[in-house]
Amino acid sequence: MAGLMPAAKGLSWPFRLLVSMLLGLLPPVAFFGSILLQTDGTEPRDFCIPTERESGLLVLQMNSGGQVPYACELNWSLAMIYILPSAILFGLLVFATWTLVRRR
């Protein structure tokens, strides 16, 4: 039971790393999300797969002014390729900062 509890000094490093990686996801998701919202899902190119009607994951009008409404079905593999490298970088920066502040 003692192995499941955090150390008396603070949180264990694997937990801090997990929290840091989750926090590292926020900046790239916010960045690409803002681009998607501003361009109605047309940029970054191939990030959204157009689906007819409103059956897509994101309800963005990709074909404004057209006869057939299209919604955005997220291309998960491309999204991970765009988001994960910068998320890992931001996460490691958060972890390093957290570790250095903790040692002071």
**Does residue 48 form part of some domain?**
yes
Structure tokens at 46: 């191939």
**Does residue 29 form part of some domain?**
no
Tens of pLDDT, residues 9-61: 677 888 999 999 999 999 999 999 899 888 887 888 888 888 876 666 667 76
Q: What is the pTM of this model?
A: 0.74
Indicate whether 4 pLDDT > 60.
no
Pair 25, 47: CB distance under 8 Å: no
Query: In total, how many domains does the chain have?
Result: 1
Q: What residues make up the domain containing 84? A: 41-104
**Does residue 25 form part of some domain?**
no
**Does residue 61 form part of some domain?**
yes
Amino acid identity of residue 103, one-letter, is R
**Does residue 53 form part of some domain?**
yes
**Does residue 52 form part of some domain?**
yes
**Does residue 22 form part of some domain?**
no
Give the H or E element holding residue 53: none
Pair 8, 74: CB distance under 8 Å: no
Residue position matching structure tokens 């191939």: 46
Indicate whether 1 pLDDT > 50.
no
Q: What is the pLDDT of residue 45?
A: 85
Q: Which of 75, 90, 73 is nearest to 31 (CA)?
A: 90
